[in-house]
Amino acid sequence: MYSISNRATLTLQLSWTPHSWIFSGETINLRCEIQRGRDNKWTYEWSPDNLNTPTAHSEYRIVSATEAHSGEYRCKGRRDSYSSTEWSDAIELTVSSNRPKAELRADDRDIPVGGSVTLTCSVNPSSAGWKYFWYRGEKTSEPLTTQLSAGPISVSHGGVYWCRGGRGEPVHYTEYSDPITINKNVHNKAVVTLRPNWSEIYRGERITLRCEIHGGGYNKWTYEWTKDNLNTPTTSNEYRIISATEAHSAEYRCKGRRDSYSSTRWSDVITLTVSSNRPKAELRADDRDIPVWGSVTLTCSVNPSSSGWKYFWYRGEKTSEPLTTQLSAGQIRVSEEGVYWCRGGRGEPVYYTEYSDPITINKKVHNKAVVTLRPNWSEIYRGERITLRCEIQGGGDNKWSYEWSPANLKTPTTHNEYRIISATEAHSAEYRCKGRRDSYSSTEWSDPIKLTVSDKPRPVLTVSPSWLSAGASVTLTCSVKDQSAGWRFYWYKTVPDPSNNSYSIELLPGNSSGTEQDSYIVHGQTHTAGYMCRAGRGDPVSYTDLSEPEFVWSADFHSSASLTVSPDRAQHFTSDSVSLSCEGNSTEWRLKRLTTDNRYLSDCTTWGTMTGSTCNIKTSWRSDAVYWCESGSGEFSNAVNITIQDKNMILLSPARPVTEGESVSLSCKLRSQTFGSTVFFYHNEKLIQNDSRWDLNISAVSKSDEGFYKCQHWRRESAQSWMSVQAVSRPESSSFPVPLIVGLVCGIVLVLLLLLLYRYRPSKDTCFNRPIQFESSNAEQNEAQCNEYSSPQHGDVCLYESVKHSEDTENGGSQDVTYSLLELKNIRKKGKQHTPEETSIYSNVGTGAADDNLLYAQVFTHDKDKGKKKKGKSAPAATDETVYSEVKAGSSLGL
C-alpha cells in the first residue's frame, strides 16, 4: 500500500466544534476534504466501517441523530487500489437523548416608569450554533425577534415572556424556557400602615395591616402582600389579624396592581413582632405611707415600654370596679389607705395586661415612734446583750403592733422590744420602728439609731513604776476604747507556765466583781511580777479580751528564782559573748526578754541558745531589753536591763543591784582603743567627773547614788544604764524570852524618857529630822530612815524626838546628841477582816559621837486576845505590841 502526500481533513458542519453536544433528532453533515489534490477522481473511506456511505462520496450525512451515532469519526482519500492519504484526525460526536431546555433570566421583574428590563436566553449544557427565539403572551405566538448568540434583549412592555433556541437546517429547537412575568411599574406608591400603630404586639391582640396607594386617580386596584402565607384576597387592601401569635412575626410589604402586568413597586417593609408573654403592669408609689392630711402618688406602667395603653386602678380586690382610667402612664394621687392594684388595656376590644403586684399604702397617725437602746452604749462589741425598744409617744391607744427595719429582724410585730442575745457583726445596721394601729394606719418610721458591732476590744495595761523599790506600791491602769461606757475592770496576776510556753492568771484580791475605777494599786510588791487586765459590762457580763501582759521589775534577788549575767555588766558590745543563768528551786526554766523600743516579748529560743538553765545571747545585732527568768513552779526572778551596743563605746556598770555601803567602780570602755583625753561621767544627766580617768569610783555607795549613768569621750557617748542600790535591811525580831525582854526594855525606856524630858526641851513634829552633824541635818536621809521603819501603805505614824545639848565651848565645841524614835502602828478593831497591825515603840538614844556601839532591845507586848481563835478562823499573830529600844553608849549616861 502506497501512502501519498495529500492530507485528508474531516470537518463538521457550520461552527460546531468537534466536541460539541449533539442532541437526538438533529441533522449532522461530516465532510472529508483532500488537501493539495488537483485530481478530482478521489474515492473515500470512513471509519467506523459501518457508516454505509458510498466510498465515492466526500460527505457523510446523519439525518436524525441518535445515541448510536456517538463515536469517533475519521476519513481518508484513495486514488486507486494501492495509493491513499493518511487517515484524518478524528472528530468525536456525542449524541444526547435529552432535548435541551432554554433558560430565561431577567435583571428585574418590574419595568420602572419610562424604562425597560433586560432578558437573557441561554442553552444548558453549553453548545454552539444556537439562535434564540423570544415570545410574549403564549408560546404559540410569533417570535418577537431572533438572536444569533446568547445576547440579551430589552423589553418595555409588561407580560409573560418565553424563549427557546434553535440550530441546523432544518432547524432543531430546544424546549421552551420557563416563563417570566414582567410587570410594568406605574408612578403610584404603595405604603403599608399598622393599626393600631404599636411598636410591640402581644399574643392575643387584634391588629390590622393596610395597603394605601399614593398618587392615584385609579380606584380599581388589586393588592398583593408578602409574606406569602397571608391568604388574603388580592382585592383587599387590608390584612386583619384577629388574635396575634408568634407566627405572625414577620416583615410585611404590599403593592397595588392595575392589571395583570402593571403595578406599583413593593412598599417599604413594616416589621411585626409578636411577643408570646402577656405583659404585666408595674405599680410604683412615691411613698408607702400617707402623711397626716396628705396623699401619695401611684404610677402604673407596662414594661417593656410600648404605646397605646390606658391604665385601670383598683383598691381592695382585683375583681372590684376600677377607680379611674388614665390615657397615659399618668399618675393618680390617693389619700385613702389600702391595697392598690393596676393593669393596662388597649385596643378594641380591650386587650388587658396582667395585674400588677399589689402595693399596701398605710395612713400615718400623729403619734411618734422612738427607738431607744439599752444599755445606751455608743459602740457595741461582739457577744454583748442589748435591747432595742420602740416607744410610741403622744398615744393613749395601747393596742399597738410594731414593725422594725431592717425587715429581717424576725421579731413578732406585736412586740415593742427587739433583743439581741449575743451581738455579731451581722447586727450592725440602722434600726427604725413604727407603731401600727390596724392593717393600714401607722406612725411614721422613727429616726434611725445606728448600731455598730465591733470585735471585742483588747484593753491596754500600763504599770507604774516599771522598776520597783522594795515594798513600794504598783499602780495598774487599764485603758479600753470608749472608756466611760459602763465598764468594770478585772485585774490579774500572771503565773508562768514554761511547759506550755504561756501564762495562767490569778485574780488579784478584792476585785472578784471588778472595780469601777480603771486603776488598781498593788501594795507591798517586792519581786518581779506580771499583770493583765480586762473589762466587762452588761448583765450577764460580757468581757473584753485580756490585755497583753505588762511587767513590773525588781532587781532584788530571792532564793527561789534569780538571774545572773556573765560578764556582770549592763552594757555589752555586739561582738561580746553574754550568758544569762537562772538559779533557784526549779529544774525547768524559761528566760524571757522584753525589748524597750517595740515592747516585743519573747524567750531565749528566739534570740539565743538555751542550754539547761543558761541562755547564750546572740549579740550580732543591737538591742535594749529587760531580761528575767520564769521557773517551772510559777515564779519570777529578779530583772536585769541589758543594752547591746553597736557603738564604739559602752559604760561598764553592774547589771545587778549593789548593796548600800559597798564600793562600786564604773568604767568607760572603747571597742578597740584607750582614752587619750578627758572622759566625762554623768549621773542623771549631771556632770560628776571630768578628767583623764576612765573609771568612776564610789567608795561607799548610798541610795542617793542610784540612778542613770553614762560617759562621754570626744564626740562619742555611751548609752545610759540604771544602777540600782539596795538598802541595808535592819535586824529581824529576836526570839528571846518575852517576859525578860518586856521587863528590861520597859524599865530602860521609861528611865531614859524621864531623863530626856527632864533635861531637854523637846521639839516635836510629824517626823523630826535626825541630826547627822552638830549643826546640819539631811532631810532626805531622815525621811528614808522614817520609811525604813514604817510602811506608808499601813498608815503608820512616825515620830522623831531630837534633843540638842547646850554648846560646850570648853570641850572644843563638841556636842552630845540624844534622839528618840517612836513609831506607833494602829491596831484594827477586833472583828475586822483585815490583818491587825503592830503597835511598836522604838527608842534610839545617842549620847556622843565617840562611841557608835548600838544596843537594840525588842519587846513583844502580847494582846490579851492573842492565841484565841475567832469563829472559823485563827486570830492573827501580828497583833502583838512591840517595843524597840536602841541605846547608843556615851559617857554622859555612864554606859
Q: Which residue has the cell 527608842?
A: 843
State the pLDDT at residue 303.
81
Q: What is the pLDDT of residues 710-745, one digit of tens each?
A: 999 888 899 998 888 887 865 544 444 444 444 555
Of 784, 850, 782, 789, which Cα lies nearest the Cα of 819? 782
What are 339-383's pLDDT values in tens digits? Answer: 999 999 998 889 999 999 999 998 888 889 999 999 988 889 999
Strand partners, 536: 488, 543
The region that residue 486 occupies, defined by phi over 0 for left and psi between -120 and 50 for alpha, beta otherwise, is left
User: Which residues, 6+ apart, have CB-to-CB distance to 207 below 8 Å?
Assistant: 194, 195, 196, 198, 201, 240, 241, 244, 272
- Predicted confidence at residue 749, as pLDDT, reads 60
636 and 590 Cβ atoms separated by less than 8 Å = no
Does residue 829 or residue 74 have the better pLDDT? 74
Is residue 439 very low, low, confident or very high in pLDDT (cuts 50, 70, 90)?
A: confident
Work out the average pLDDT over 269-297: 90
pLDDT of residue 5: 78
Query: What is the pLDDT confidence band of residue 228, given thresholds at 50, 70 and 90?
Result: low
Residues 27-40 have a mean pLDDT of: 79
DSSP 135-198: EES-TTSPPS-EESSS--EEE-S-EEEEEEEEETTTTEE-BPPPPEEEEEE-S-EEEEEEES--
Higher per-residue confidence, 402 vs 748: 402
Per-residue confidence (pLDDT) for residue 137, from 0 to 100: 87
How far apart (Å, rounded) are the C-alpha atoms in residues 866 and 179?
145
Whether pLDDT at 67 is above 90: no
Confidence at residue 857, expressed as pLDDT on a 0 to 100 scale: 36
Task: Name the percent of the chain lying above pLDDT 70.
Answer: 76
Please say if the pLDDT value at position 778 is more than 50.
no
Query: CA 292 to CA 169: how far, in whole Å?
Result: 109
The per-residue pLDDT for 147 is 60
Decide: pTM greater than 0.75.
Answer: no
User: In terms of Cα–Cα distance, which of 371, 359, 341, 338 is closest to 441?
Assistant: 338
pLDDT at 231: 62
| Single-letter residue type at 350 | V
pLDDT score, position 58: 85
Q: For residues 525 and 366, what is the distance between their CA atoms, to the nearest angstrom?
A: 66
**Cis omega before residue 125 (within 30°)?**
yes
Residues 379, 381, 387, CA angle at the centre, nearest 5°?
75
Q: Is the pLDDT of residue 462 over 90?
A: yes
Segment of 227-231, 410-414, 564-568 carrying the highest mean pLDDT: 564-568
Q: What is the mean pLDDT of residues 785-797?
A: 34
Name residue 895's amino acid: L
DSSP string, 370-409: EEEEES--SSEETT--EEEEEEEES------EEEEESGGG
Mean pLDDT in the chain?
Answer: 78
- The residues near 362 (Cβ < 8 Å, ≥ 6 apart) are 288, 289, 290, 337, 436, 440, 441, 442
DSSP notation for 623-673: EEEEEEEEETTS-EEEEEEEEEE-SSEEEE--SS-EETT--EEEEEEESS-
Cα 232 to Cα 230: distance, rounded to the nearest angstrom: 5
Length of the chain measured in residues: 895
* Listed ranges 137-146, 802-811, 843-852; the one with the highest mean pLDDT: 137-146
pLDDT given at position 485 = 77
What is the percent of the chain where pLDDT is above 90? 35
Output the pLDDT for position 880: 38
**How many other C-beta atoms are found inside a 10 Å radius of the C-beta of residue 61?**
12
Helix (H, G, I), strand (E, B) or coil at 621: coil
Q: What is the 3-class SS of 818-837, one letter each residue?
A: EEEEEEECCCCCCCCCCCCC
Q: How confident is the model at residue 327 (pLDDT cuts 50, 70, 90)?
A: low
The residue among 831 and 91 whose pLDDT is bigger is 91
pLDDT tens readout for residues 608-663: 999 999 999 888 778 889 999 999 999 999 999 999 888 889 999 998 888 999 99
189: β partners: 214
Over residues 437-444, mean pLDDT = 84
CA distance 216 to 187: 9
Binned at pLDDT 50, 70 and 90, residue 477 comes out as very high
Predicted confidence (pLDDT) per residue in 464-475, tens digit: 998 887 678 999
pLDDT class of 855 with cuts at 50, 70, 90: very low
pLDDT of residue 323: 85
* pLDDT of 194 over the 60 cut: yes
